[in-house]
């Protein structure tokens, strides 16, 4: 099983359009009948299709999205400002809409709290990484990627983080 993390940079003026795209997002469900299963499709397009078209910038995280999840939601689990902000930014299990103020707070936290190499390696080892040293390098790069991406978000722009499983 794999995961992908994608960052989208959106104009704040497109916020209502984004919310509308989320409300009308395409969904596929299956309804069982007596003799067959019927596919039921609602909505026009998936949210990622809208984002691919409407975003000012799209950045693919260069590693598995599980590295992002490990760092953001497990390694930083006790980091109250980050966990509170990301919980508030969640629009569903896969998408986080990140406003400028949140991006500034989280980027500031990351800037003033660089991860310790030994702590990253220990974390990787405890979580069963095949090579804790290499995994620690990826976690550190994730920290830097988050800072860079969050730094692109401003009062005029918001970000969307998509995590697929």
Between 4 and 35, the more confident residue is 4
pLDDT confidence bin for 1, thresholds 50/70/90? low
Distances (CA, A) of 46 to 19, 27, 43, 77, 156: 13, 7, 8, 30, 25
pLDDT confidence bin for 130, thresholds 50/70/90? very high
pLDDT tens-place string over residues 18-60: 999 999 999 888 988 888 898 888 888 999 999 999 999 999 9
pTM: 0.90
pLDDT value at position 138? 96
């Amino acid at each position: 099983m794999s995961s992908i993390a994608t960052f989208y940079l959106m104009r704040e003026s497109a916020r209502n359009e984004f919310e509308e795209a989320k409300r009308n997002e395409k969904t596929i469900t299956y309804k069982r009948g007596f003799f067959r299963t019927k596919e039921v499709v609602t909505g026009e397009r998936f949210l990622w299709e809208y984002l691919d078209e409407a975003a000012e910038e799209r950045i693919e995280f260069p590693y598995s999205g599980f590295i992002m999840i490990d760092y953001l939601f497990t390694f930083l689990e006790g980091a109250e400002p980050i966990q509170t902000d990301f919980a508030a930014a969640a629009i569903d299990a896969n998408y986080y809409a990140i406003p400028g103020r949140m991006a500034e707070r989280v980027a500031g936290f990351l800037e003033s709290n660089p991860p310790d190499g030994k702590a990253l390696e220990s974390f990787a080892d405890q979580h069963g990484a095949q090579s804790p040293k290499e995994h620690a390098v990826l976690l550190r790069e994730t920290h830097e990627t988050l800072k860079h991406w969050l730094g692109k978000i401003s009062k005029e722009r918001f970000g969307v983080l998509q995590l697929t499983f």
